[in-house]
A = this chain, B = another copy of it.
Amino acid sequence: MESAIPASLLAVLDRLDTMSEPERQALAGLPWRQQSFQDGAEIIPEGHRPTESCVLLRGFTANVRYLANGDRQLTAIHVPGDFFDLHGLFLKVLDHGVVALTECQVALVKHEHLKRVTADHPHLGAVFAASIAREGALQRTWIVCMGRKDPVRRIAHLVCEMYRRLERAGGARDFQFEFPVTQAEIADLAGLSVVHTNRALQELRATGLMSWQGAEIRISNWPSLVAFAGFDETYLGLRLEEQ
């Protein structure tokens, strides 16, 4: 148990609906514990029966599913402020694991406390549901990218999405941001081989719309990159229906 969850880190929930001051305080006052994970660590194993849900404080994590042949597929990337494990509150067993893509810090809140806070503030239950629904919208978007976009556009779309999400979380501005993720991880997200991910990345750089050196991404022509990727960001801004 530590001090309050930094207010800025509930930015994502905050975007989903206007919360009242008591609700905000109830969230910020939730008892929680903090845990650090190193790069590559398994934060939650696949098939786990969670008793806590997690807010990402620092770093990058991803949902992961492993296949029998050893392949793996990342199904989502989380940025600081994401309540990435919230659906665990409603499902007995998690259908995916969560892995640390970088060194990172996580705040863990017991389900019993989350249940209490939604009982005290029923509207927060709707905010949680909206958060889960929003994650669904992100996943649908990724299905579209996987099914109908070529690898270069797929990665371009990822860059657009990460920029907007990080911008909200305070981790990006002026069209540049740190994204310390390996090409092998991009490959596991995009459903590509590492080699082809590398070549797609080179092709994307060659467009001149953005650069990606080491962990540093710079978008030099946002409108063109958006058009190239076919990035329609409305799915990110989905807000809770007004009451």
Contacts and interface: CB of A to CB of B under 8 A. Distances in A.
Given A87-B136, A128-B129, A234 B93 contact: yes
A132 interface: yes
Interface of A: 47, 63, 65, 67-68, 71-73, 75-76, 87-93, 95-96, 111, 115, 119, 122, 125-126, 128-130, 132-137, 139-144, 146-148, 188-191, 230, 234-235, 238-243
Contacts of A146: 143, 146-147, 191
A interface, over-half SS: helix
The 4 residue pairs across chains A and B that have the minimum distance between CB atoms: A147-B191, A87-B133, A95-B235, A90-B130
Contacts of A88: 241
A190 B129 contact: no
A201 to B, nearest CB: 17
